[in-house]
Structure 1
Amino acid sequence: MGLPEIIGVAAGAVTLSARSWPGGGARPVLLVHGLSSNARLWDEVAGRLAADEHPVVAVDLRGHGASADVPDPDGGPGPTLQAALDLAGVCAGLGEPVVAGQSWGGNVVLQLAADRPDLVHGLALVDGGWLHLADRWPTAEAAWEVLAPPDFDGLKLGDLRERLVGMHQDWSSAAIDATLANLHPDDPVRPRLTRGRHRAIVTSMVEHRPRDLYPRVTCRTLLLAALPGAGGRALVDEAAAALPSAELVEFPGADHDLHAQHPDRVAALIGGLA
């Protein structure tokens, strides 16, 4: 797998950092990470897609990865809707790509496909896109009480690496390193995504209504679900039934980060949408 080029991609009024693989003449692919994650988690998937001639761009959304310093707009539509607007600008420069999003990124790319069907050739929802936080928590405050990230309390990077290796023994070292890239490499470590931005995203997810978007998605859609996984069986089945052209692919007992655990299978499925 060749190393990606680090580029800036136009996203409306701002420029986001992205990782780019040139590929060849096949349809381009845009890859979108989840909440408090980063574009590097897609490296192994992207390398396999590029080997099949797909130009690939994996983007760091505002506040994440190398786009940590990209500002949020004052009085904007909220992080989930703003991320979808940003991705519309990225897609316009790629030429109707296949778009994949994981977890919260799945909700973001679902919004993109519903709002701008002219920009998305195919959609892959990777253990996300059907996340309805309001079904579980009546307010953003209630959701934050459960979903707020833990404090690292002086944790060293090496200690965290050991924990991750123990938790994900079937992940590659590249996937472990990519996960660690969610943090500034300080001792003790600290997240690249600030706590305030994290809370704002959770609030926007409580306000987000994916089921209202399903009928508006016109492209072929794959739902890659780590069952029981994020949201449980009922929400996955609801999305698969409501999306006009959808196929559910199950990964029973898999990790939420399917792209890190099963990059070969995930890459093959995304490539099949082209």
Structure 2
Amino acid sequence: MAFLEVEDGRHVYYEHHRGSGRPVVLVHGWGANARCWDTVLGALRAADHTVVTIEHRACGRSDQDFADTSIGAIAGDVVALVAHLGLQRPVLNGWSLGGAVVVEAAHRLGADLGGLVLTNGATPRYTAADGWPHGGTPDDVEGVLAGLAADRPGTFRAVADAVCAKPVGEPAVLAIWHAFLQAGPAADASLRDLAHIDQRDILPTIGCPVLVTGGHQDGFVPFSAVAASVELFPDARLVEFEGVGHAPFLEDGERYRAELLAYLKGLDG
């Protein structure tokens, strides 16, 4: 187990799987942990990529008592980990809220970024706003947070049940739920922050090739939002998953892994 000190003696958990290929940093979604990536991790390691996973502040095995669990703070941890490990032109892959995290981290890395993957990423906005008619409202997010305050296990079970549109089996749903239950209350502020941030000015500045996935039945990040986000990048490709919800790497894992590996191969010519 490895930990990186990032703030006032507090640490985030990470794993560093060494390989000879381009490094890939996997950033999970809100309330989840690094184990959500296990099948993706296996495929990347089989292709001899260096793979790094990180667990957000107040999630999984990271310290729970962070004062700042904002998107910007988590992105700063990703950038700090890239520097700590000496990763050269890494590809950042963010799922859900992790999509907003890696967009901010990509912006900070600038020319040191090798590539960007948004797995049903909650960017550039998670909620609707002027000129962005996609998603719910901050009040919707506050409703979820109120549910957590009243019944954390029950609310997280309902969220876990809604992640996948295609049947993935009870063990997979339980794994998602149990990951959520490891997230401390400080992680709730990450979701609240996501309800208000706007990255529409960042996406046009990311010049590397971007791979974007979206599920037509995604109940958290509408497919219309994913499709609209692609238009804001200078160089992005959309992979659509019909009949799939919020987790294509679980619901259509074989195709997801194939698309990811093909994208990585394309970066290296």
Determine the structure 1 residue equivalent to 2:115: 122
Q: Percent of aligned positions with the same letter in both sequences?
A: 25
Residue of structure 2 equivalent to 1:104 = 97
Partner residue in 2 for 1:207: 196
> How many angstroms apart in 2 are the aligned matches of 1:148 and 1:210?
26
2:228 aligned with 1:238: yes
* TM-score computed with the length of structure 1 as normaliser: 0.78
Partner residue of 1:29 out of 15, 24, 45: 24
User: Do the aligned partners of 1:68 and 1:193 also contact (CA within 8 Å) in 2?
Assistant: no
Letter paired with 1:71:
F
Q: How far, CA to CA, are the matches of 2:173 and 2:70 in structure 1?
A: 27
1:95 aligns with 2:53: no
Offset from partner CA, 1:106-164 (integer Å, 9 cap, x none): 111011112322332111101114243253566x4553125655555777xxx99xx79
Matched letter for residue 14 of structure 2: A
TM-score (normalised: structure 2): 0.79
2:126 to 120, 129, 132: 132
- What SS does the corresponding residue of 1:58 show, helix, strand or coil? strand
| Amino acid aligned to 1:30 | V
Please report the RMSD computed on the Cα atoms of aligned residues, expressed in angstroms. Answer: 3.2
The 5 Å alignment of 1:213-228 reads 213-228=202-217
Match of 1:267 in 2: 257
CA displacement, residues 199-250 of structure 1 (integer Å, 9 cap, x when unaligned): x122211221022211111111111101142332432222111111100000
Q: 3-state SS of the aligned residue for 1:65? A: coil
- Please state how far the C-alpha of 1:105 moved relative to its aligned partner: 0.3
Conserved? CA contact 1:28–1:56, under 8 Å = yes
- Residues in 1 aligned to 2:27 and 2:167: alpha-carbon distance in whole angstroms: 24
Asked if the contact 2:59/2:187 (under 8 Å) is kept, the reply is no
Q: Are the aligned partners of 1:127 and 1:224 in contact in 2 as well (CA < 8 Å)?
A: yes
Match of 1:66 among 50, 61, 65: 61
Matches within 5 A, 1:2-81: 6-9=1-4, 11=6, 14-22=10-18, 24-69=19-64, 71-73=66-68, 79-81=70-72
Equivalent pair of 2:94/2:118 in contact (CA under 8 Å): yes
List gaps (5 residues or longer) in structure 1.
Answer: 1-5, 184-190
How far apart, in 2, do the equivalents of 1:53 and 1:91 lie? Answer: 18
Distance, in Å, in 1 between the alignment partners of 2:223 and 2:215 is: 10
Q: Deviations over 1:7-66 (max 9, x none)?
A: 2246577532123333x2111111000011111000110011100000111111101001
